[in-house]
Amino acid sequence: MEHPGTVGELAETLRQGAYLADRGLATALFVAMSLNRPILLEGEVGVGKTEVAKVLASVLARRLIRLQCYEGIDTNQALYEWDYARQMLHIRALSEHQVTDADAVDKLFGPRFLLERPLLEAVRAGDQAVLLIDEIDRADDEFEAFLLEVLSDFQISIPEIGTIKADSPPLVVLTSNRTRELHDALKRRCLYHWIGYPAADREVEIVLIREPGISAALARKVVAAVQRLRELDLAKPPGVAETIDWARTLDFLGESDLDARAARDTLGAVVKDRDDLEVVLDNLQEITSGARGA
């Protein structure tokens, strides 16, 4: 699909993919796409940072290429690796046939034995792809510096093969949970958008677009309760993902109301920390009474 012509169109396209973006997010994404700039999404846990990249790829009919970052990730896992196992087999075959010419040996480091990892894949796919660099804050400093280089020219040099360059760069979405501060240099290269928790009405809409079978009344109650949970000082406040899970769980169990009893029975869908559980149990009445009035 051609890329949407206005911010409103983009938001509408995302909605068709069951993603509700507020004006700020839709604008940031629209500008990122139009100006070929990577976009960095930071925000609370479970507020739709990863999902927006997936939905974008799907509604734009682009390939989603995901680089999941983690502690200790290195350039091999991100760019390319040589397929050692196949190289060894090939070498064995060569020696059995007593082949020793330089050409055959050169081929060992040719495209046949190259394993593409997400960044190389993305450079090859260019604007046919959405590159999701997920949870960049989990990778270490060196990796971030290396990423910065790749993002600045979308060009990868493989000594044995040559330089591969994207004709037009993919749409790049980076996400971070802010477990550490990212470097200014990386931020400067990207557009930035913070995704906070949605307002209650919006969150109800999100629940209903994701779980159309759920009654609006139940969705409202769940959202009201979740919003109260977020006001408590929890170690792991529930994200939108938990709101949806909770509503789905209650609906599955045939609960049409969220009272203290129903909440206690299903808390595992929304509170996932032992200490938090105690705080929540102490306040259940209040959390759900707010829900009942809503």
Ligand X SMILES: Nc1ncnc2c1ncn2[C@@H]1O[C@H](COP(=O)(O)OP(=O)(O)OP(=O)(O)O)[C@@H](O)[C@H]1O
**Binding residues for Mg ion (CB under 5 A):** 50
Q: What is the CA radius of gyration of the chain?
A: 24
The item of Mg ion, ligand X, none sharing an interface with residue 220, based on CB under 5 to 8 Å by kind, is none
Minimum CB distance to ligand X smaller for 69 or for 156 = 69
Does 48 bind ligand X (CB under 6 A)? Our answer is yes
Name the pairing type of β-strands 171-176 and 80-82.
Answer: unpaired
How many other β-carbons are positioned within 10 Å of the β-carbon of residue 139?
24
Residue 255-294 contact track with ligand X, rule CB under 6 A, x = bound: ----------------------------------------
Minimum CB distance to ligand X smaller for 38 or for 239 = 239
Count residues binding ligand X (CB under 6 A): 19
Choose which of 4, 19, 39, 255 interacts with ligand X (CB under 6 A).
19
**Both structure tokens of 268:** 């595992």
Does 45 bind ligand X (CB under 6 A)? Our answer is yes
Cα dihedral 283, 208, 67, 73 in deg (nearest 10):
10
What count of Cα atoms within 13 Å lies in the side-chain half-sphere of residue 193?
23
Residue 157-176 contact track with ligand X, rule CB under 6 A, x = bound: ------------------x-
How many other β-carbons are positioned within 10 Å of the β-carbon of residue 264?
12
* Sign of the C-alpha dihedral computed for residues 122, 125, 126 and 127 taken in this order: negative
Does 118 bind ligand X (CB under 6 A)? Our answer is no
Residue range at the interface with ligand X (CB under 6 A); choices 42-50, 97-105, 142-150, 276-284: 42-50
Does 50 bind ligand X (CB under 6 A)? Our answer is yes
Q: Is 235 helix (H, G, I), strand (E, B) or coil?
A: coil
| Contact present, 168 and 127 (Cβ < 8 Å) | yes
Does 206 bind ligand X (CB under 6 A)? Our answer is yes
What residues line the site for ligand X (CB under 6 A)? 18-20, 43, 45-51, 175, 177, 206, 210, 239-241, 244
